[in-house]
Amino acid sequence: MQTSYEMFLLAAKTLNFTKAASLAHITQQSFSEHIKKLEKEVGSVLFTRSPRVALTESGRIFYETVRQMDLIERRCLVHLKEREAGTRGHVRLGTNAARAKCFLPDLLEQYHKAYPAVTVETVLGDTRELEPLLAEGRLDVLLGVDCTDYALFQHIPVGMEALYLVGNRDYLKKHLKKGRAVTLEPGSVVSLHDFMDLTILGKEKRSTVYSRVTEVLKREGLFTAPLFSISDDETQFELARRKLGVTFCSQLHLSALFDAQEATLTPLSVKEITDTLRTDLVTAKALYEAPYLTAFLEESRRVLQEKYAGIRKFMTIKG
């Protein structure tokens, strides 16, 4: 990529010419000259300079195009290096810890048989944290929920996930309101108003599931600040087993209960929570996609949909 484009990307990311010049290891005057020269070449002002540096509308359009060019160039170089080194490739997957535990062992067991020389690196985080890494070319694949419909992204639909309340049966029975006849079997439908004084186990605010649940609790006048907050689902399930509260999770995360033939905890559908989460495999749009990456996406989708089918079967049998 030509130098002026690289300077433009630094300026667009930092919105500070002094900082951008420092990152480029040149003087601010030289940096400003690069930007002025580029603006002359494209025939449009890309930045406003006062009262602070900001992208103009033309600048924003140019930024999206140049960033995609940069991503394509870097991916091309990676593929060429892999080819020269005689390796089969490298896949960088971004997802959260709970989803990784649910599907990654099954995926890698099968994928490694077909592509034994491909290395797989997993970066853990929430969807909103990982999307910028994908856009910057630091991830190849993102498994996320309600991902942004961004122009540079290509979405592969995996499924729609309902949200469930998960709690210890004895704890739930203890907190049932008098006179409520409620079935507490997996998949049974309950109302939040069937219970009283439930302790809701919290998650980080950026958690998509927790933000959705919090909205409903506030709307129903049932929200209270959580006594315990942790984003790890296994820890949440263990706290629920010990009758310290109830948690909420999406459908895929129930596979942990399904795989363990869980008897203590019961997942329940909630009348007031009608939202579903859209789960996608997301990649950056590119003119070329390595065969091993295509196979990784296909196998990921197959394993995930098998997980969904197993959970539905489990819920039907138990319910």
CATH number for the domain that contains residue 268: 3.40.190.290
Confidence label for 260 from pLDDT (cuts 50, 70 and 90) = low
Residues across the chain: 319
Instruction: Determine whether 271 is exposed, middle or buried from the number of CB atoms within 10 Å of its CB (0-12, 13-18, 19+).
Output: exposed
Residue 312 maps to a domain? no
CA distances to 40, 66, 208, 271 from 12, rounded to whole Å, are 17, 11, 29, 46
The CATH number for 115's domain is 3.40.190.10
Confidence label for 313 from pLDDT (cuts 50, 70 and 90) = confident
Say if residue 196 is in the same domain as residue 210: yes
Residue 317 maps to a domain? no
Say if residue 45 is in the same domain as residue 137: no
Say if residue 203 is in the same domain as residue 134: no
Indicate if the pLDDT at residue 32 is higher than 50.
Answer: yes
Say if residue 165 is in the same domain as residue 272: yes
Residue 255 maps to a domain? yes
Instruction: Determine whether 243 is exposed, middle or buried from the number of CB atoms within 10 Å of its CB (0-12, 13-18, 19+).
Output: middle
Note the pLDDT tens digit of each residue in 156-165: 999 999 999 9
Q: Find the range with the poorest average confidence among 1-15, 71-85, 237-251.
A: 71-85
Q: What is the pLDDT of residue 315?
A: 76
Residue 300 maps to a domain? yes
The CATH number for 14's domain is 1.10.10.10
Residue 197 maps to a domain? yes
Q: What is the pLDDT of residue 301?
A: 97
- Of the chain, the percentage scoring pLDDT greater than 70 comes to 92
Q: What is the pLDDT of residue 84?
A: 54
Say if residue 167 is in the same domain as residue 266: yes
**Among 210, 257, 252, residue whose Cα is nearest residue 231:** 210
Residue 132 maps to a domain? yes
Q: Find the range with the poorest average confidence among 63-77, 124-138, 233-247.
A: 63-77
Query: Is-above-0.75 flag for pTM?
Result: no
> What's the whole-number mean pLDDT along residues 291-313?
92
Each as own residue / partner, the long-range contacts of residues 257-260 (CB below 8 Å, 24 or more positions apart, any chain) are 257/166, 257/314, 258/310, 258/311, 258/314
Q: One-letter amino acid identity for 281?
A: L
Confidence label for 55 from pLDDT (cuts 50, 70 and 90) = very high
Domain boundary among 46, 70, 94: 70
Domain boundary among 13, 43, 70: 70
Residue 313 maps to a domain? no
Say if residue 176 is in the same domain as residue 258: yes
Say if residue 112 is in the same domain as residue 66: no
Tally of domains within the chain: 3
Indicate if the pLDDT at residue 17 is higher than 70.
Answer: yes
Q: One-letter amino acid identity for 268?
A: L
Say if residue 241 is in the same domain as residue 287: no
In which domain, by residue range, is 92 found? 80-158+279-307
Q: What is the pLDDT of residue 86?
A: 44
Say if residue 286 is in the same domain as residue 239: no
> What's the whole-number mean pLDDT along residues 240-261?
86
Q: What is the pLDDT of residue 310?
A: 87
Q: What is the pLDDT of residue 288?
A: 72
Structure tokens at 248: 């909420």
Q: Which residues pair with 157 in a beta bridge?
A: 280
Residue 314 maps to a domain? no
Confidence label for 83 from pLDDT (cuts 50, 70 and 90) = low
Say if residue 59 is in the same domain as residue 94: no
Q: What is the pLDDT of residue 290?
A: 83
Alpha helices in 43-126 (DSSP H): 57-85, 97-114
Say if residue 209 is in the same domain as residue 249: yes
- ∠ CA 88-300-235, nearest 5°, is 115
Confidence label for 246 from pLDDT (cuts 50, 70 and 90) = very high
Task: Assign residue 248 a region (left: φ > 0; alpha: ψ between -120 and 50; beta: otherwise).
Answer: beta
**Ranges assigned E (strand) in the chain:** 47-48, 54-55, 90-95, 119-124, 141-145, 153-168, 189-190, 247-250, 265-270, 276-284
Confidence label for 262 from pLDDT (cuts 50, 70 and 90) = low
Note the pLDDT tens digit of each residue in 147-198: 998 888 999 999 999 999 999 999 999 999 998 888 998 889 999 999 999 9
